[in-house]
Amino acid sequence: MKMPAAWPAFLFVSQGIEMTSIRALAGACVAAFASLCAFVAPSAAQTYPTRSITMIVPFAAGGPTDVVARIVTAHMAQTLGQSIIIENVVGAGGTTATTRAARAANDGYTLITGHMGTHAASVPLYPKLAYHPEKDFEPIALLAGTPILILARKDFPPKDLKEFVAYVKANAEKVNAAHAGVGSVSHVSCELLHSILDIKPVGVPFNGTGPAMNALVAGQVDYMCDQIVNAVPQINAGTIKAYAIATPERNPSLPNVPTTAEAGLPAFQAQAWNAMFAPKGTSPAIVASLNAAAVKALDDEKVRKRLLELGSVIPTAAERMPEALAALVKSEIAKWSPVLKPAT
Amino acid sequence: MADTMGHSATATRNTSVALGFCLLAIAPQIFEFIWSIGTIFGWGVGRGPATVVISHATALLVGAPGALFGALGGDTKKASSDVMLALIYSYPLFAVAIVTVFMTIRSAQDYVGGVILMALALFALWASSDLQGMRGFSFGAGTAPRMFGGLLVALSAGIALTGLLAEGAALAHYSWRGPMFVMASILFFALAIRPLGLVVSAFVSFLIAALGSHETRWLEAAIVGACLTLGCALLFPYVLGLPMPMFPRFLIQ
Amino acid sequence: MELFANLAHGFVVAFSPINLLMCLIGALVGTLVGVLPGIGTIATVAMLLPITFGLPPVGALIMLAGIYYGAQYGGSTTSILVNIPGEATSVVTAIDGHQMAKQGRAGPALAIAAIGSFFAGCVATVLIAVLGAPLTKLALAFGPAEYFSLMVLGLIFAVVLAKGSVLKAIAMIVFGLLLSMVGSDIETGASRMAFNIPELADGLGFATVAMGVFGFAEIIRNLDAGAEMNRDLVQQKITGLMPTRKDLVDSTPPILRGTVLGSILGILPGGGAVIASFAAYTLEKKLAKNPSRFGRGAIEGVAAPESANNAAAQTSFIPLLTLGIPPNAVMALMVGAMTIHGIVPGPQVMQKQPDLVWGMIASMWIGNLMLIIINLPLVGIWVRLLRVPYRLMFPSIVIFCAIGIYSVNNAPVDVILAGVFGLVGYWLIKHDFEPAPLLLGMVLGPLMEENLRRALLISRGDWSVFLTRPLSAVLLAIAAGLLVLTVLPVLRAKRDEVFTESEN
């Protein structure tokens, strides 16, 4: 019998790699064992969770939402005693993944970490959205907020926010605002800024934050609004400048950047928030235990430290409750709907 | 004069090519009809078969000529999607089919290839016809697709023309066994991976694909298929850490 | 002399046992990922990110970097053996590489790909260390207008590399451009030609189309009645494993030129590495005394693009290391990995994280050394793989491709689409259309359209920007010159053909 000569090569290659995957292997073994148990003894008393939980992240691994989800779920997994597997499903501004989560079984084993785009701004942006953030999801907990900054190329004439507002209003025909694609945080928040200033400058779209930041550093575009994570090192190095931070308080990682209220534009308040949801109809007991685990994670010193390093704002105890998140989603949809016009 | 020379010799051949083009001209409509049969059983979303047939038939026979004459008369009322399909896609291909009957095809490979490519380009033109065009100085969503769609129509017409003007290869022979079983194997894998998991779908797909060759020896194929499945089941989820269902869902839950 | 101190420091970091191990693992996983059809670097790096959670940051990044450039080594393997390019950068390698394999010269093709990659990797690594900072300016000098012109040039390369009719090659490029427009429009978010299929909302994946028109189509074609004879012939023909002296002599200048081209183009964010491989191939074809050998198993057609893509893979780290801005999706994931470890890369990352930056640079050299040591002995095994009877090989390839495509997005629809593109590819073969220009059109299409629109937005609709910006004008001039050089001989040949037609 002829066996393919590929096998030796294949085994040779795989031997070296198994070491990296010990953690993955261990996780998978746990999952396999758990599922086996569930199969063998389905009638045994079930206390949630009995097997590993899938957490859908609607963005690429390594992005701001993904990082927040990973930091928090790593701690939640310890509390719940089951592994939480992160599945990154990218596409259509996160709405592909969110649609999938909305249609998933509401048994508490499929969750999603959504953000301002997927669970609020998507409503006005995509008229044919296959889900509704309020009707198709059970809110679990708000995880973190990421402040938004008004940034400009380093040789952009205005020196502070007041001058910026005057300049942009006077030169609305000439200035170029960069953003990271329709539906991205930078696009949505700049639309809010423009509606407050009542101007319609040319928006130059880029494919993601990286290329947009590159263009800003190179001085090809004039300004953009973006999340704090990407901007801090560039601001500190002086390759771009920041006019203001759109939160009520200054951020510890950028103590010199004034808030929009201080700088004279109190109406511009925007935060990219990340929150955890379950499909509609998930039992209240499961939601409560997930919420408790998330709250516990947000109280953990290590988790807090890592989130703060990212420039995130950690929600207060009251803000972490499901009811508070439901109210936030409602108010955010109301906030973005008049600002964003649908993408045809 | 060249058109009529040798006409009788290629007449039957040309007619079958022209008939093929006619079929191609209504291929999207036929596809939607087949798709719509599924909706009776509640699979997929879309219009029911009766609606599909009626709306496409009216679009082809009534709507499109009406819109065509309307446009000539300066009427710019927006036509329905079915009418647009008939106008942009089907009619030009019918025209090509009619022209084909009267032509001497010197290189069937180029001529048929060019026309099919033109069909793809026309289909893209239709698919992007509802998108926004230029907005002042900036491109709309539909500008580039229509620009390149138009360019491809011109290029493919050029290729078809070379097939009429220059001698070249005849139509190559298509076999059915390989494509059919390889496609069946791929389809089975796609449909089975979620509900049945990697182990079952990989092994069965392997055997379906093996049907594509008459050289296949079954015992050997089954053994290699099993080894391959085992290898994949270890390699993908464990070594590369790709999350993938392994076993049928009903066994796990 | 600061440079040597820095490099010495880097080697101290890179030679620590844990980092050596990480480097080796990265190189091995990268090779594996490159070899497996469909599994892309992005998907793998994304999957392995969580594993790096528990590792020290320097080791984690050394490993991820190893996967990235390791995949460039492995990517050529399937291109050469079974005509399936695993990465966009190895599409060109498939053209001559697979022809060499069909002539029984898979061994020399694989070996020269590894040697070229090794040389290019070493040179480019030195370049990062010495010229990283000044070269950053090039990345910043490229605005939307320059990118558009570069993409036009890239598409002209695709015309040049076609062996058959220029008209058909251009048609294939435009077809590729059209396919690339499926999905959401970047500027308005409008869904284009997606027919409400959610999986199409972000466009057709490169892996999906490449597996289809190259992989599945090749299999279907080989199953055609009468194709068995050719296959058996290939299996008997396999000759030496290592390149001959003549092969090495022939390949040396292409490797050198490929390295230079790749190093320069790699710095540009976005499509740099892809264009580099096409540019290197085109350059060799234009410089060759007998260009007709290209597409029929010329070793230069493997040596040049493989050197170029590996050089580009190395120098694409420059924007990340000097500006802190990720130039492509894999680098964006690496930034994510750094963020998870609490390092946010920025312009000062070289000063603030010398361990990380210099350790990574040093590890790249070690990684390249490891890769050539891994890859040269593997050549023998890969070539033996060709002796597996095709009746067993083809279902295996089908399964590997299907799993690979599924794993990219966990989307069954992608697998079906790849199957459909397999039929499209079969049709292309039957009508003598070449798939390589189609794929290049598809890869470069979005970049071209985006940058055209961006440039026109910034210039407020003034098309003259492409000519008034010097860099852009130069690129367009080269493109125009190249097009004339390509079309002229064809026109002349057509005229000759008319005269000789009666002989056929």
pLDDT digits (tens, 9 = 90+) for C312-348: 888 888 888 877 777 777 787 788 778 777 777 777 7
Q: Which residues pair with residue A88 across a beta bridge? A: A57
**CB contact (8 A) between residue A207 and residue C186:** yes
Any idea which fold A51-145+272-336 has? D-Maltodextrin-Binding Protein; domain 2 (3.40.190)
Q: Tokens 């697709």 belong to which residue?
A: B145
- What gap in Å lies between CA C64 and CA A19, rounded to an integer? 15
ipTM (interface predicted TM): 0.88
pLDDT-derived band at C416, boundaries 50, 70, 90: very high
Task: Give mean pLDDT, residues A263-289.
Answer: 88
Best of A2, A3, A7, A17 to disrupt the C interface (most C CBs within 10 Å) is A17
Q: Where does chain B show beta strands of DSSP type E?
A: none
Chain A adjacent subunits, 3+ CB pairs under 8 A: B, C
Interface membership of C269 toward A (CB under 8 Å): yes
Question: Which of the residue ranges A206-210, A219-223, A270-274, A279-283 has the most confident prediction, judged by mean pLDDT?
Answer: A219-223
- What gap in Å lies between CA C350 and CA C354, rounded to an integer? 5
B155 neighbourhood in chain C, CB within 8 Å = 167, 170-171, 174
Q: How far is C479 from chain A (nearest CA, A)?
A: 24
- What gap in Å lies between CA C56 and CA B26, rounded to an integer? 61
Q: What are all long-range contacts of A170-175, with beta carbons under 8 Å and residues at least 24 apart?
A: A172/A199, A172/A200, A172/A201, A173/A201, A175/A201, A175/A202, A175/A222, A175/A223
Task: Decide: C181 and C449 in contact? Cβ < 8 Å.
Answer: yes
Q: Which of residues 94-123 of A touch C (CB under 8 A)?
A: 95-96, 99
**CB contact (8 A) between residue C415 and residue B175:** no
- The pLDDT tens digits for C478-489 are 889 888 887 777
- What gap in Å lies between CA B177 and CA B174, rounded to an integer? 10
**Residue C228 one-letter amino acid:** E
Query: How many Cβ atoms from other residues are within 10 Å of residue A26's Cβ?
Result: 11
Interface membership of A30 toward B (CB under 8 Å): no
Tally A–C CB contacts below 8 A.
Answer: 199
pLDDT-derived band at A20, boundaries 50, 70, 90: very low
Task: Decide: C150 and C482 in contact? Cβ < 8 Å.
Answer: no
Q: How far is A162 from chain C (nearest CA, A)?
A: 25
B234 neighbourhood in chain A, CB within 8 Å = 14
Q: Where are the domains of chain C?
A: 2-495
Residue C499's pLDDT is: 47
B237 neighbourhood in chain A, CB within 8 Å = 28
Q: Where are the domains of chain B?
A: 7-165, 177-252
Q: Which of A9, A126, A202 is facing C381, going by the closest CB pair?
A: A9
Residue A17's pLDDT is: 36
A309 neighbourhood in chain C, CB within 8 Å = 342
A18 neighbourhood in chain B, CB within 8 Å = 238-239
Task: Give mean pLDDT, residues C173-199.
Answer: 82
Low-confidence ranges of chain B (pLDDT < 70): 1-13, 43-45, 64, 68, 70-79, 240-243, 251-253
User: Is A22's pLDDT higher than 70?
Assistant: no
Interface membership of A343 toward C (CB under 8 Å): yes
**CB contact (8 A) between residue C336 and residue A61:** yes
Q: What is the dihedral of CA C148, C154, C159, C160, to 10 degrees?
A: 140
C340 neighbourhood in chain A, CB within 8 Å = 62, 67, 70-71
Q: How far is CA A277 from CA A66, A109, A307, C222, in A?
A: 14, 11, 19, 50
**CB contact (8 A) between residue C51 and residue B241:** yes
Q: How far is A35 from chain B (nearest CA, A)?
A: 6
Interface membership of C413 toward A (CB under 8 Å): no
Best of A54, A175, A204, A312 to disrupt the C interface (most C CBs within 10 Å) is A204
Interface membership of A326 toward C (CB under 8 Å): no
Q: Tokens 């002349």 belong to which residue?
A: C492
The more confident residue out of C154 and A60 is C154
Q: Which of A79-83, B45-49, C421-425 has the lowest mean pLDDT?
A: B45-49
Q: How far is B238 from chain A (nearest CA, A)?
A: 6
Q: Tokens 């090659």 belong to which residue?
A: C169
Q: What is the dihedral of CA A119, A120, A124, A129, to 10 degrees?
A: 10
Interface membership of A33 toward B (CB under 8 Å): no
- What gap in Å lies between CA C382 and CA C385, rounded to an integer? 5
Q: Where are the domains of chain A?
A: 51-145+272-336, 147-271
Best of C84, C392, C423, C448 to disrupt the B interface (most B CBs within 10 Å) is C392
**CB contact (8 A) between residue C202 and residue A96:** yes
Show the tokens assigned to B244.
């993938």
Residue A134 burial class via C-beta count within 10 angstroms: exposed 0-12, middle 13-18, buried 19 and up: middle
Interface membership of A28 toward C (CB under 8 Å): no
Question: Which residues contact residue C446 at a Cβ distance below 8 angstroms, ignoring those fewer than 6 apart?
Answer: A207, C180, C181, C186, C203
**CB contact (8 A) between residue C39 and residue B172:** no
My answer on whether omega of the bond before A49 falls inside 30° of 0, hence cis, is: yes
Q: How far is B231 from chain A (nearest CA, A)?
A: 9
A87 neighbourhood in chain B, CB within 8 Å = 243
Task: Decide: C188 and B140 in contact? Cβ < 8 Å.
Answer: yes
Q: Tokens 């299907």 belong to which residue?
A: C402
CA A182, chain centre distance (Å): 15
The more confident residue out of C137 and B160 is B160
Q: How far is CA C379 from CA A6, A17, C197, in A?
A: 12, 20, 42
Q: How far is B73 from chain C (nearest CA, A)?
A: 30
Residue B242's pLDDT is: 67
φ/ψ of residue A110, rounded to 5 = -125, 120
- What gap in Å lies between CA C178 and CA C441, rounded to an integer? 8
Tally B–C CB contacts below 8 A.
Answer: 223
Task: Give mean pLDDT, residues A266-291.
Answer: 88
Mention the CATH class of domain A147-271. Answer: alpha beta
Nearest CA in chain B to C455: B138
Q: Which residues pair with residue A85 across a beta bridge? A: A54
Show the tokens assigned to C290.
């007998």
| CA nearest neighbour of C360 among C3, C64, C29 | C64
Interface membership of A39 toward B (CB under 8 Å): yes
**CB contact (8 A) between residue C140 and residue A217:** yes
**CB contact (8 A) between residue B239 and residue A17:** yes
pLDDT-derived band at C290, boundaries 50, 70, 90: confident
User: Is C403's pLDDT higher than 80?
Assistant: yes
Domains A51-145+272-336 and A147-271 share a fold: yes
Nearest CA in chain C to A233: C346
User: Is A42's pLDDT higher than 60?
Assistant: no
Task: Decide: A140 and A276 in contact? Cβ < 8 Å.
Answer: yes
**CB contact (8 A) between residue C347 and residue A239:** yes
